[in-house]
Structure 1
Amino acid sequence: MPASALDVLLSRKVKYPLTFMITNPFLEKVSHCGVLEFSAEEGSVFLPDWMMRNLSLEQGQLVEIEYTGLSKGRFLKVQPHSSEFVKNLENPKEVMERLLRDFACLTIGDTIMVNHENQEYYIDIVEAMPKDAVSLFETDCELEFEKPLDYHEEPQVIETRDEQADQDVMEAEKDVVFRPFSGVSRRLDGKVTAAAPDSKKHVGTSVVCGLDGECSAAKKKPETKEDKEEKKFQAFTGKKYSLLS
């Protein structure tokens, strides 16, 4: 700021550190700042690039600057633009707390630029307490991070069961019935002769195959009542022999 600004401030009762409200009168955008030194040319002030972007100011444009006292900040919520600020730093909260010491005050809606290890990071001021604009001079301010602007959650894969498909599989398993000896017979020369009979269709039927590979089914003769009687035990039905024979 110019030296004349310092003369005006000294003639008034102001509190240190000095903080100011800076306004773009054409867009009515407002932010707050401190002062580095009073060495600018009369009628001009110098602002950092990130502050000019916040206020949508162009070089040489008219601005309004007014001294204002600010309450000490007790809470800040910030949102990095890039996930690299969180991923690349071992302790981003500790780094951020140290970088904020370079700022006299902050306002909700500001986008500040911080430099760490020759890397520039842009940070949005999302929340501030106790007011929308707070002083950061000699204050113990609680810091909280919002998810970075470029953060994207990975889509969750949800497995769904097709009840109709499960039912079709169960029905197919029911249709599978064990069929013994359902293969084919082969001769010694490897040729297929005939398929073995179906165990369901030929129950009680025997198969006779000749040396020529031809097979025929022979039906088993039903057992009669007389056959059952003959199978019963009959006493003294063996051969008899005399001592002279």
Structure 2
Amino acid sequence: MHSLKRKYLEHRHAINDGIVLGASAICTFVYAIYFEMAELFFEFSRKHEEWELDDIVLSFLLIFSFYLMIFAIRRWKDTRLLLKKAYTDSLTEVYNRRKCTKTLLLEVTIAKKFNRTLSIIAIDIDHFKKINDVFGHAAGDHVLKTLSGLVKNEIRGADTLFRIGGEEFLIISTETDLSGATRLAERLRSLIEKYPFGKIGGVTASFGVAEYESGDNTDTLFQRADKNLYEAKETGRNRVVC
């Protein structure tokens, strides 16, 4: 219920800001056309007599519209910043689980409607609890940030990385079939395995890959990737199962 209320307020604020910004732009445009602003300002610069009442009213309307537009732009920027914070993991600075849920629903809907390929890759850092226990939580945070940076730099611009749990990540790979997603997962697995993580030494990760199939929804697709990830963990870790 709290999540639904938050979403409702976010959408309502965004709509209100859009209305204010649109109204400000329309008012400014109408004033400029109706009162022939360019010509009027030119005339003001040439004459030195005192302004009449209509000049004062016009000036007030212009100033009011200007500040109204500035206010609307600032509100729009503030709203975007709040939404970014709401959908971003504060530690790794990749998208969080809330954003993953929304994005996966959208991509599954597109895949279903337009018969497009879609794959997801579930990632879990191997023995992460041991890293925290032996080296401390600061070292664990370093692994999370470093690994997410490695993955984010390796995937395509059309792919999206999310942190969906403590040491769990998910990649949504659009227009990618199972073989393509498996190759990407294997490339990421090798990259992580070879990367030096300082005093921690070697770090590995396990991967579960699944492709959208006809009749899938977000739950069935995710469960299939999670099942493959579990198999990768159970059969030795540091491997890709699809």
More helix as a share of residues: 2
Q: Where is the strand percentage greater, Structure 1 or Structure 2?
A: 1
**Structure with bigger RCO (C-alpha 8 Å, 6+ apart):** 2
Does the alignment reach a TM-score above 0.5? no
Structure ID, larger Rg: 1
